[in-house]
Structure 1
Amino acid sequence: MNIIETIKKRYIRLSRGQRKVAQFVVDNPNIVATHIASEVGQLIGVSESTVIRFCYAMELSGYHELQEKLRNDLFNGISSKGEQKVVVSKKQSNFIKEIMNEDVSNILNTIELIDPQQFELATQLLHESQFVYVLGFRQSAPAANFMTSTLKNLRKHVKQIQHEMEDIVQQLSNIDKDSVLVIVAVDHVLEDVLTIANLAKNKKAKVIALTNSTLSPIRDYADAMFTINMQKQISIETSTSLCSLINALIEGMISNNRKQYMTFQKSNEQIESSFSYIESSIRSTC
């Protein structure tokens, strides 16, 4: 097993800082092989000691041994990208592992960004609010759809704000102090989103925001805010960690009264089953 494979295999066990080093080594083996530890640390944005501790986590004697192994692999034509070309039969398998490891990394990093008190507040708001509004435009729409459909299967009074409708204000006409607005904004925040958030706050509603930046302007309106961590600023890479966070928030809501939500879900399934039976009967008579 070469050093790149070893890093990928042990990636999940590393600390947050060491994972940054690991990702940099995998993506830039040439740089690591030709630069000293302090320089690599500066490029990554971590301390030299973090780079050294990463080497120990890889069961190496130190940074020099890491460089030697990288140079040896590069000399033999092995790299994080080259592995896929060396063994053609394993190309697809390696690709799957690489993508899923990135998902795992994004989820693990997102976990570290979650404030437990903010999480508890958000789950309480989802549980106690009479009305839940979900907003997510453009690239944030799929996650908003996922959250809306899941919540509708567990509780009443869940509504998704539609951007294409002419009067957004009309959709929020009933929002009040007994409501919570969940804003999914993992791309550039539209002015419409901030306008809606401001409207919700003016009507005393609570706001939960899911973003991809701690500097998002939506923070000025949020009662609870969560940041999705990702290695690259590409929207598709947010989907796994974003849906995982949404799932955690919903599970947190359910934990407040599991019997209540399971009863509603069961009742909802029975209603859907009845409609399916009626529809099937109508078709069979046509």
Structure 2
Amino acid sequence: MASSTGCEHYARSCLLKAPCCGKLYVCRLCHDAEENHQMDRFKVREVQCSKCQTLQQAQQICQECQEQFGEYYCDICHLFDKDKKQYHCHPCGICRIGPSEKYFHCEKCNLCLVKELQGNHKCVENVSRQNCPVCMEDIHTSRIGSHVLPCGHLLHKTCFDDMARTGAYRCPLCMHSAWNMKEHWDEIDKEIEQSPMPPEYQGATVKIICNDCQAHCIVPFHVLGMKCTACGSYNTAQDGGLIQLQEDADDGDDVEMEPEPEPQPQDQPESHVPQH
């Protein structure tokens, strides 16, 4: 709803004239929530002062009463808001919350990332030009910050926090572990050591694929988890049925037998870019 102080999304003292329908709204988000179409913020040409109601060309200060429409104004995005150290990133094509010196634009990812990740992240080409794999909302233009996973994929920071709270620890896209799981793998090691399998499963092995390093291994079967021999991860998937080793009564050779597949072991429990 229009007001002299803006809306729930932005603090501003003007209304945007929607280039699509000619109606006045505080922001594109308010417009999109009311209409059956979306406003193109880049095509906005006119604004109305909330103080004196003068309709005028989009600018930061009212031409009639000198009211400042926003502490921050971008004449490309037509973004008016209070000062949040915003900056316009030309490669991204939109404004982001700064300060700009804390971020760099990764050309391959085509996204602004915190400088701590410069040279320290896995690049995925145009990674932000997709929907969040959790909520399926757009990432690139979202006002919600994004979180970069070790595999290079992105999801909303709020979705990442929700995922972690539920015990999910895998990237929804590639199943790679979403953070350093070494301490948790060490705990599983201790639990397995203290929980031997029943005699009929002693010596049973299983083929696995590791979601973290993509190695294929044959490892001891245990209901609490199967550990990758290449990287030590328990983020693995069973690849085929249980292999039971039995000794042949005639010649003493070991014989592999594959009974019905055992139930899969249960999953084990598992930088931020604010945007406008």
Provide TM-score, normalisation by structure 2.
0.26
Provide TM-score, normalisation by structure 1.
0.25
Q: More strand per residue: 1 or 2?
A: 2
Q: More helix per residue: 1 or 2?
A: 1
Highest RCO, 1 vs 2 (Cα 8 Å, sep ≥ 6)? 1
